[in-house]
Structures are given as structure tokens and as C-alpha cells.
Amino acid sequence: MPKSVLILFAHPSYARSRANRALRTVAQDLDHVTVHDLYETYPNFLIDVEAEQRLLLDHDHIVLMHPFFWYAAPSLVKEWLDVVLDYGWAYGEGGTALAGKSWTQAITTGGPAQSYCSDGLNRFSIDELLRPFQATANLCQCVWQEPFVLHASRQATPEILADAAAKFSAMLEGLIDG
Amino acid sequence: MAEANLLESAFVYLTATVVSVPIAKRLGLGSVLGYLIAGAIIGPYVLNLVGDPENVMHTAEFGVVIMLFLIGLELQPSLLWRLRTAILGMGGLQVVGTGAIATGLGMAFGLSWQVALAVGLTLSLSSTAIVLQSLREKGIAGTEAGRSTFAVLLFQDIAIIPMLALFPFLATLSVAGDGAAAKGALAAYPGWAQGLAVVVAVGLIVLAGRVLLRPMFRWVAASGLHEILTAFALLLVVGVALLMQFVGISPALGAFVAGVVLADSEFRHQIESDIDPFRGLLLGLFFISVGAGINFALLVAQPWLILGLVLVLVLVKASVMFAIARAFGRKTGEAALIGLGLAQGGEFAFVLFAFAQGAGVIPPEITALLVVAVALSMAITPLLLMAGDWAMRRFEAGSGEDRAPEIEEGHHDVIVAGYGRFGQIVGRMLSTYGYKISVLDHDADQVDVLRGFGRKVNFGDATRIDLLRLAGAADAKLLIVAIDNDEKALELVETAREAFPNLKILARAIDRRHAYQLMAAKVDGLERETFAAAVRLGVKSLQIMGKPAFAAERAGMIFSRYDERALTAMFEDWQRVEFADYQRIVRDRTALEEELLKRDMVALVGKSDGDEWGEETLEREAFERNLARKAKPD
């Protein structure tokens, strides 16, 4: 029985992102994958909490897909976390709605891979920088997965993008089958 | 019934009013005609229920005084300034032109020049009460034709004042001076002394108005008793009227001046609303007594003379006004409407005839004739307006003789139909993003104004398929329907939906019902024209009431989302069921959804100030303490 994947997609200027377009296109072509575009759904940041929670309940795996802005996600993702992951629902007393679901961070960065280490430009590794998301997943009793990262996305050639898209697709298929 | 007592007369008059005015209104004749008919019925020629209407006329004239007071009160300088060309130009020419022709005609029929002048000037006036009310009822008060008409009426209202002042001078020269008992205490003095007295009296009123009235009003208002304020306002009018009578000119003139003096006082609206009911009733009484005074025997005796008078009156007035309106650049149809609309004699003719007769300017046998003629001309006003309306439609309908549609052809991304307050904003946003838009508006004046500002605007009726096609509807992506007329907008949506199936259509909805109709016509999206602005003001209100800016902002969004969803849900009900059931469903649904909305908004905005110690907050804090304990590594 295939599992279902919910991709929470957040990019404030999606039309200009080649990398995210490449990744999202392959994701959309897969069965059992729902791509939910947050900026398209909530242009005024007024998130429909109940609708979001229903969507989460309907899927087995959660993927947060976004560009890595300022070592974090675009602001709508933070708003989404703030209002959707409610006390008594996602965490706290009786808050077990997401328990057992997997949580994957899928990000594109501007900097190259080697800049994300202790002696690189960004000083910290991706794993370190994603700790707040990992902690969030943890509190919601989700299973934290190895993040999917496309580095230096602006410089990526069509070949690199195609390669990344294939890997992303394979990762998603793994979730569906797993 | 000659010595009918007060209660009996009041009973007769009020009954006549209550019965005939509503009937007249329902027949589309307007209230003034209703009063006239009521008067005619209870008058000596039909039921003969009242004694000499002259007695009542005296009381009723006070209604005219109050009306002039209120006209003065409404003369805001800004309005006058905005309409100055129309008022002085069109209004002035109308009174002078019509007056001159009527005077000439009168002299040709053997009246002395004084009598002819008084008659001519009086007949140049039209009926403010009837015309303004009819324009409003027909929904043309706001149009170019409506504004022009209003300007002319305004000038006439003002022109009454010099006429009232002029007539006594005509009387001193009059050969028909048998009844020339000028009323004032100064009647014995020569004309120049009377003139001086008038100037002094008016100056006195102006001075008192500036210096004394405000402190007095404040003092009276401080008593906190509403009826005392009303009494004071009435006292003011009566006092001025008495003063004016003393110096021998019309009380109405004094009342008018007093009104103008008070127009910029902070008590203006208070006075207006206090006195208005008196004006209505007393004016009604006045019209009734005019109706009762209509000499039907005269009509029976000289039907052809009177009908001839009516015909000449209407013809002269309509053609003079038509010519003036054309000269001032109004279109043929508009000019016809303005001319026909103003072709009747006015209610002030009754006042002026009564006054002129009292002052010995016009002999009674002539006023009797003219009163009948004016009353009849007023009676046919609804017909005249219907003719004017027809003329306007005829000349303006389908491309119009005046101006052919002007459409810039070619490819456009978006077509904006209706380029007023609404369409302009949408159009500007789209142009900013570089989309090629084609703008259509059917209001020629609006088009010219916008072109003056350098905007490209096409002239034409967007509901016409051929014009839409010319504007490029066949290969445009989007049509914006921003017309302010709900029926036209709906018509356009339906037409365009059928003719151009691929065209997306967004529409401006006037109200909820219109929104449903547009949804039924399958628009791709709509906005209710005042909804967003009202929500914005609601947000500002919440802020003023002390809610934090962000919370207020979010409350506005939540409210909008709730209401838009409700609109969709209720639309389905609206389509599905009868209206009575729809009302019930809406009632139930509203109660339920408002409960939900309240919950959402309170959760966000807080029930009241100081909610940080509310139940929810405490609960959350307890949880956080708990969490901190658990999180501690053991």
C-alpha cells in the first residue's frame, strides 16, 4: 500500500526560481504526492488552520520545501508553523496528530556545499542550521529525515538541475514505497 | 361651514392631505400636486368644506417663509462656487430671457408694463419642489442634466428675493393701484425711504446674526431642552418675518437673509432638522389653500383662454431653457430634458401672485387666471418629464446623434468597461504592470475629463457586442466590468459570456443581491464595491478602540474570509430555494457562522483589554511550566 506525501511548498517568487521549478515539476508528476503551494494559497498570510490540519492528517509524510532564506525558511513557513502546529493538536497534552509521520526538509541554497562548514563562509553545517526544524519535528513526534539539499542553485546548469530533480524524485518515491 | 372652528378645519385639511397626497405620490404625480388636488376637492368648487381659503392662506404663508429660511440655510458657499457658471449663466439667462419674452407677450396683450413685468418675472420661475423630487425619483439628479436643472432652480430661488423687493416699487407706479395698500408701517413714506429701511433692516439682521445669534443659541442649547431649541428657531424666523413686515417688504426675504446668515453657524443642522417638519406641513397647507383657491368657475368659463395660457407658458419656458442649455454645451437630449423639466410654473408663483395682488401690482382678475394656468402647468409636469426622458433616451440611445462611439482598435490584454472611481483604480494597477488595457466608458463628459488628464479612454456603450469586439474582446484575456449600474453590468456579463467564451470576466458588484446575480451569470470573480473599504474602516475602528494594530488587521482578514465564504454558500441557497426559505436559511446560517467568527476573532483580538490574564492564557502558561519541567534533563 503506497504512502502519501504532502509537500508544503513555499517560495515568495517562485516564477523566478529555476531550481524550485525543476524540483517541483517532477514532484507534481508523481502519484500520491500533493504539492501544496503556501504562497499561492495564502497570499495575505491568513492561514486556514483547519484546512491545513486536515491536509496533514490525510498524508503519511511531510516535506517542507523552500529556499533557505537567512538560514531558515521564507516567513510564511514560520507563520504556518506558528498557527497550524497547535497546542493540544501537534504537541502538548493530547497533541499527537502528527505522531509517527516523517518530516523531510527539502531546501535550495545560494551558497555552495563547501561554504556550510565550520571554516566555510556560513560557519555552520546544514544539519546544524536546520536544528530548529528538527526540534519542531521532534516535539510533534515526527520522524526527522535526512534533509534534501540543492546547493548553489542559482549557478546550477540544466544538467545539474536534471540530476537534482531525479534525486528528489527518487527520494519521494522512497517515501511513497516505504 | 363658514364659521368652522379650528378643530373642524384642521380635521378637514388633514384628512384631505392624508387621503390625497399618498394617492398622488403613488400615481407618480408628486406631493405638491397631491396637496393642490386635495385643496381643489375641499375647496368651494367641489365639496365646499372650508370657508374662505384666504384665512388659511395667511397661516400657510408662514410655510413659505420657513421654506425660504431653509433655502437660505442650505446655500453653502462651496456649492454656489462650484456651480457658479451654471447658476449665474444658465439660471440668470433663463430668468431674464423667459421674463422678457413673457413680459413682451403680456404687453402685446394689452397689460401695462408694470403688470406685464411682474407677471413675466413670476412666470419665469419653475417648481423647485416638484422638479427636484421628480429628478431624484427618476435617478437623474446626479447627471449633467440634473446638475444643470438644480443650478437653474437655485438661481430662481435666489431671484425670488429681488422680485419680492421689486414688486412694491412696481405697485407705486401701477395704474391698477386700487388695492395698493402696502402692508408695512412705513407705507406712508416715499419709495426711497422704504428702500433705505429695507437696507437698514437687512443690515440689522446680518449684524445680529453675526454677533448675537451664536451666544444666544449656545445659551438656549445649554438648557438641554430640545423643544426650547425648536421654539427658539421658530422664534427667530417669526421675529425676522415681523421685522420685515414692519419695514414693508416680504417676511420671506427676511427669512431668506436670516437663513444665509446662519448657514455657516454650527447650529445649522440642528435648526434645519428642528424646523423642517413645520416647513413640510405649513407648505402643504399653503398648497392646499392654493388648490382651494383655484377658480374652477374661471376654467369652465374661459377654458380656451386658460389652456392657451398653459400651452404658451410651457412652450416659451421649454424652448428658452432648451436654447440656453444648448448654448452652454449640453447635448440635445439633455437640453430637452432640462427644458421640459423646468417648463411648469413654480409654487413661488402662487406666493408672488398673492404678494403682487396684495401690493396692488397685478389686478385680482389676472392673478386668478394665472394661478389656474400655473397650477395646471404644474399638474402636467410628470408628463413633461416623461417627454423629456424620452427625448434624452432617443437622442442618446444607440450611438446617439451627438457623438458616435470612438474606439481604438487593436490588441489589448484587458478591457475595462466603466472608467469611473472603480474602473480607474483597476486600470491603473494593470497599466503599471505594463498590460495593454482598453478602456470603455459611455459617459461622454467623463471621457472628456479623463482625456484632459491624458488618459486614453474610448467612448461607447460597453454592452454593445460590436463595440466590445472593436475594442478587442475576441482576443483579450480579461474583461473588467466596473459599470456602476447594476442592470447594465449584469447585461454586459451575460452578453460577453455568451459572445466570448474564453474571455475571463471580473465584475464589480453593487450589493449582495447583485453579487448573486453576477455569480449566476458565471463571472470568474467579483468584488462588492463597498465591502473592502468597510472592512478597512472596521480595522481602523478596532485600533481606535484599543486593539493592537496586528490583531485588528488580522481581524479584518478573518472577517473578510468568513464573509466571502458565506457569500458563496448562501449563493447556492439563493439559487436553490424560494426567497422566504432563503431568508430562513440565511438567518440560521448567520447565527451559527457568526458564533464561529466570534470565536476566531476573540481568540486573536481578545475579548477586552487586559485579556492577558484570560482563561486561555493561563492554560497555556500552565502547560509551558509543565513542559519546562518535563524538558529538564534528569
Q: Does B618 touch chain A (CB under 8 A)?
A: no
User: Is the model's pLDDT at B76 over the cut of 80?
Assistant: no
Q: From its phi and psi, is residue A100 left (phi > 0), alpha (psi between -120 and 50) or beta? A: left
A46 to B557: CB separation less than 8 angstroms, yes or no: yes
pLDDT, greater one: B129 or B127? B127
Strand partners, B478: B414, B504
CATH assignment of B6-393, among 1.20.1260.10, 2.20.25.10, 3.40.50.1370, 1.20.1530.20:
1.20.1530.20
Question: Quick check: B385 and B134 in contact, CB under 8 A?
Answer: yes
DSSP-derived 3-state class of residue B187: coil
Q: Does B554 touch chain A (CB under 8 A)?
A: yes
Give chain A positions within 8 Å (CB) of B620. 87
DSSP-derived 3-state class of residue A108: strand
Helices B332-341 and B128-138, interaxial angle, to 10°?
140
User: Is the model's pLDDT at B175 over the cut of 70?
Assistant: no
Strands (E), B40-176: none
CA torsion, ordered B35, B36, B40, B42, to nearest 10 deg: 20
pLDDT, greater one: A133 or B115? A133
Which of A46, A87, A92 shows the shortest C-beta gap to B554?
A46
- B559 to chain A: closest CA residue: A46
CA distance B130 to B382: 9
Question: Quick check: B488 and B442 in contact, CB under 8 A?
Answer: no
Three cell numbers written together for A89: 493538536
CA distance A37 to A57: 17
The H-assigned helical ranges of B359-511 are 364-379, 381-396, 421-432, 444-452, 465-471, 486-499
Question: Quick check: B148 and B330 in contact, CB under 8 A?
Answer: yes
Q: How far is A163 from chain B (nearest CA, A)?
A: 36
Strands (E), B205-340: none
Structure confidence at residue B593 (pLDDT) = 75
Give chain B positions within 8 Å (CB) of A46. 554, 557-558, 561
B620 to A87: CB separation less than 8 angstroms, yes or no: yes
Three cell numbers written together for A1: 500500500
pLDDT, greater one: B275 or A30? A30
**Residue closest to B259 by CA, chosen among B272, B270, B244:** B272
CA torsion, ordered B245, B251, B254, B259, to nearest 10 deg: 150
B557 to A87: CB separation less than 8 angstroms, yes or no: no
Residues B315-319, mean pLDDT to the nearest whole number? 93
Domains B6-393 and B405-529 share a fold: no
CA distance B322 to B325: 5
CA distance B84 to B101: 25
Q: Does B623 touch chain A (CB under 8 A)?
A: yes
Structure confidence at residue B616 (pLDDT) = 56
Strand partners, B187: none
**Residue closest to B285 by CA, chosen among B277, B297, B273:** B277
Structure confidence at residue B613 (pLDDT) = 44
- Which helix or strand (DSSP H or E) is residue B414 part of? strand B414-417
Residue B411, amino acid: H
Structure confidence at residue B197 (pLDDT) = 77
Which of B561, B623, B627 shows the shortest C-beta gap to A46?
B561
Strand partners, A63: A7, A104
Residue A29, amino acid: D
User: Is the model's pLDDT at B565 over the cut of 80?
Assistant: yes
> Does this model's pTM top 0.90?
no
Q: What is the mean pLDDT of chain B?
A: 79
Return the residue matching grid coordinates 483580538.
B605
Question: Quick check: A141 and A99 in contact, CB under 8 A?
Answer: yes
Could you tell me the CA-to-CA distances from B113 to B66, B100, B352, B367 in Å, in that order?
Answer: 32, 11, 17, 16
pLDDT per position as a tens digit, A120-130:
999 999 999 99
User: Is the model's pLDDT at B441 over the cut of 90?
Assistant: no
Question: Quick check: A168 and A104 in contact, CB under 8 A?
Answer: no
By CB atoms closer than 10 A (0-12, 13-18, 19+), residue B282 is: buried
B623 to A92: CB separation less than 8 angstroms, yes or no: yes
- A94 to chain B: closest CA residue: B623
Residues A47-63, mean pLDDT to the nearest whole number? 96
Give chain A positions within 8 Å (CB) of B558. 46
Return the residue matching grid coordinates 387666471.
B369
Q: From its phi and psi, is residue B398 left (phi > 0), alpha (psi between -120 and 50) or beta? A: left
Question: Quick check: B321 and B314 in contact, CB under 8 A?
Answer: no
CA distance B351 to B250: 10
Structure confidence at residue B274 (pLDDT) = 78
Cβ atoms within 10 Å of B614's Cβ, excluding its own: 14
Of B140-144, B150-154, B280-284, B454-458, the one with minimum mean pLDDT is B140-144
Structure confidence at residue B53 (pLDDT) = 59
Instruction: Give residue limits of the domains in chain A.
Output: 5-177
User: Is the model's pLDDT at A7 over the cut of 80?
Assistant: yes
Structure confidence at residue B180 (pLDDT) = 37
Q: pLDDT grade, residue B176 (50/70/90)?
A: very low
DSSP B336-360: HHHHHHT-S--HHHHHHHHHHHHTT
Give chain B positions within 8 Å (CB) of A48. 561
User: Is the model's pLDDT at B422 over the cut of 80?
Assistant: yes
User: Is the model's pLDDT at B521 over the cut of 90?
Assistant: yes
**Residue closest to B190 by CA, chosen among B169, B174, B204:** B169
Residues B166-173, mean pLDDT to the nearest whole number? 70
Of A103-112, B79-88, B188-197, the one with minimum mean pLDDT is B188-197
Instruction: Give residue limits of the domains in chain B.
Output: 6-393, 405-529, 535-634
Cβ atoms within 10 Å of B619's Cβ, excluding its own: 13
Q: What is the mean pLDDT of chain A?
A: 95
Question: Quick check: B373 and B309 in contact, CB under 8 A?
Answer: yes
Question: Quick check: B291 and B350 in contact, CB under 8 A?
Answer: no
DSSP-derived 3-state class of residue B126: coil
Strand partners, A36: A8
CATH assignment of A5-177, among 3.40.50.360, 1.10.10.10, 3.40.50.300, 3.40.50.150:
3.40.50.360
CA torsion, ordered B507, B510, B513, B515, to nearest 10 deg: 20
Could you tell me the CA-to-CA distances from A161 to A44, A104, A146 in Å, in that order?
Answer: 31, 20, 20
Question: Quick check: B388 and B414 in contact, CB under 8 A?
Answer: no
What's the 3-state SS for B476-521? CCEEEECCCCHHHHHHHHHHHHHHCCCCEEEEEECCHHHHHHHHHC
User: Is the model's pLDDT at B1 over the cut of 50?
Assistant: no
ipTM of the complex model: 0.75
pLDDT per position as a tens digit, B598-608:
777 776 665 54
By CB atoms closer than 10 A (0-12, 13-18, 19+), residue B47 is: middle
A92 to B627: CB separation less than 8 angstroms, yes or no: yes
Structure confidence at residue A78 (pLDDT) = 96
Cβ-based neighbours of A18, under 8 Å, separated by 6 or more: A153, A156, A161
* Number of helices followed by number of strands (H, E) in chain B: 29, 6
Mutation choice for A interface testing from B623, B626, B630 by most A CBs within 10 A: B623
Structure confidence at residue B52 (pLDDT) = 65
**A146 DSSP assignment:** P
The CATH number assigned to the domain with range B405-529 reads 3.40.50.720
pLDDT per position as a tens digit, B200-252:
877 887 787 778 877 887 788 777 777 887 888 888 888 888 887 777 666 76
Of A59-73, B71-85, B322-336, B615-629, the one with minimum mean pLDDT is B615-629
Question: Quick check: A107 and A67 in contact, CB under 8 A?
Answer: yes
Inter-chain contacts counted by CB atoms under 8 A, chains A and B: 11
**Residue closest to B549 by CA, chosen among B597, B612, B605:** B605
pLDDT, greater one: B596 or B518? B518
Residues B113-120, mean pLDDT to the nearest whole number? 88
Give chain A positions within 8 Å (CB) of B561. 46, 48
User: Is the model's pLDDT at B317 over the cut of 80?
Assistant: yes
Structure confidence at residue B284 (pLDDT) = 80
Which of B557, B620, B627 shows the shortest C-beta gap to A44?
B557
DSSP-derived 3-state class of residue A166: helix
User: Is the model's pLDDT at B162 over the cut of 70?
Assistant: yes
Question: Quick check: B469 and B476 in contact, CB under 8 A?
Answer: no
A44 to B627: CB separation less than 8 angstroms, yes or no: no
pLDDT per position as a tens digit, A66-116:
999 999 999 999 999 999 999 999 999 999 999 999 999 999 999 999 999
Structure confidence at residue B389 (pLDDT) = 80
What does residue A6 show for φ and ψ, rounded to 5 degrees? -105, 115
Structure confidence at residue B610 (pLDDT) = 44
B623 to A87: CB separation less than 8 angstroms, yes or no: yes
CA distance A66 to B205: 78
DSSP-derived 3-state class of residue A121: coil
Strands (E), A82-159: 102-108, 143-144, 148-150
Starting at the earlier edge strand, list the strands of the sheet with B504-509: B458-459, B437-441, B414-417, B478-481, B504-509, B525-528
Give chain B positions within 8 Å (CB) of A92. 623, 627
Residues B614-621, mean pLDDT to the nearest whole number? 54
Could you tell me the CA-to-CA distances from A171 to A18, A33, A148, B483 in Å, in that order?
Answer: 20, 12, 8, 53
Structure confidence at residue B612 (pLDDT) = 44
Strand partners, A105: A64
Question: Quick check: B317 and B98 in contact, CB under 8 A?
Answer: yes
